[in-house]
Copies of this chain bind each other. A is one copy, B any other.
Amino acid sequence: MAKNSNFYPVILAGGRGTRFWPLSRRKRAKQLLALDGKQTMIQQTVARLLPLAPAKRLWIITNEDLRPAILKQLPKLPRAQVLAEPVGRNTAPAIGLAAFLLLRENPEAVIGLFPSDHVIADEEQYRETLERGIEIAAAGANIVVLGIRPSRAETGYGYIEAGSAFREALRVRRFTEKPDAEKAAEFVAAGNYFWNSGMFLWSARTLAEALREHLPKTAPLLEEIAGAFGTRKFAATFRRLYPKCENISVDYAVLEPRSAKGEQAGNIFCLPADFGWNDLGSWAALHEHHNAKSNPPEGNLVAGSGVFLLNARGNYVYAPGKFVAAVGVSDLVVVETPDALLITTRQHAQDVGKVVKYLDEKKMDKLT
């Protein structure tokens, strides 16, 4: 299959990933950490997209805290294409800005939106899936969302309800918010529900039109910012106008109202994805991911200068440079950095974000 030369990956890398505190910080967010292998999450994200699009077609949208580290980790990317939002405005303005920028560069541009902090086990399969999605997105005013077949009744993700088949994809009937446990179980049992991966494909034209329709006040601001790109005025224009954009997710602003038009009229397609996706949403998810890969004795994963385990099971310990002794403990998560020590359980790993919330409230900025 010939590569589509109109394909432009746009990587969203403005998140904080607070659930990986104390390792993740404002200036070293989750996507900048090497949680799985030697490369960082964002380096892996870029590396698996480069076979589909060269660096000159690759864009990253992040924030000012993270931009310097991203440029350092990805020195071969065109610096101007690593954009730092002056303020966070959720995904709709970020994605909209990309649409208007790329529409100017190439009216036939097909945009792929990618989170920067997910793991993909089968990269070949991933790229093949994307190529099928790019074809659908390039064929008209279509929106393609990659849907992950649910392997458990997860309550931490949004779900996509799929309807009738269309080529290799399924028409989207509805996007749902994060369900409760009962509903999640129903969704999984039903068979036509998929996890929303946050990976989308659509033409720049379709996206620009959707924004003009659904965010009529924000769209002209984004167009004006895009118009200044490449000029001396760009930074100032970006800083002046971006804060005026609506603070809203693309799901809420575009996908939900559009899917409400009906399965046929919405033209949103779910492309089922089977490439071993994992969003590594917490220390517990990371533990599970590594455990499945390396199957260590008694399920203990320990990063340290040495280790002694006695009656210890299912623990995740990160304490580089230290000798770690774990005696009579199970299912703990312990993470140590030069200034902080996190002690929790795999079960409570979802609550680690609350530590950061507390530190934010107390303005203990050195620790965030």
Contacts and interface: CB of A to CB of B under 8 A. Distances in A.
Interface in A216-275: none
Contact of A343 (B21, B326, B355, B359): B326
B328 A358 contact: no
**Chain multiplicity (copies):** 2
Contacts of A308: 355, 358-359
Interface string A119-147: 00000000000000000000000000000
B348 A341 contact: no
Task: Decide if the interface of chain A is mainly helix, strand, loop or mixed.
Answer: mixed
A74 interface: no
A77 B329 CA distance: 44
B355 A342 contact: no
A352 B323 contact: no
Given A306-B364, A334-B343, A341-B336, A351 B322 contact: no
A334 to B, nearest CB: 6
Interface of A: 21-22, 304-306, 308, 310-311, 315, 317, 319, 321-329, 332, 334, 336, 339-345, 347-348, 351-352, 354-355, 358-359, 364, 367
- Report, nearest first, the 7 A-B pairs whose CB atoms are least far apart: A328-B348, A327-B344, A325-B355, A323-B340, A319-B341, A326-B343, A322-B341
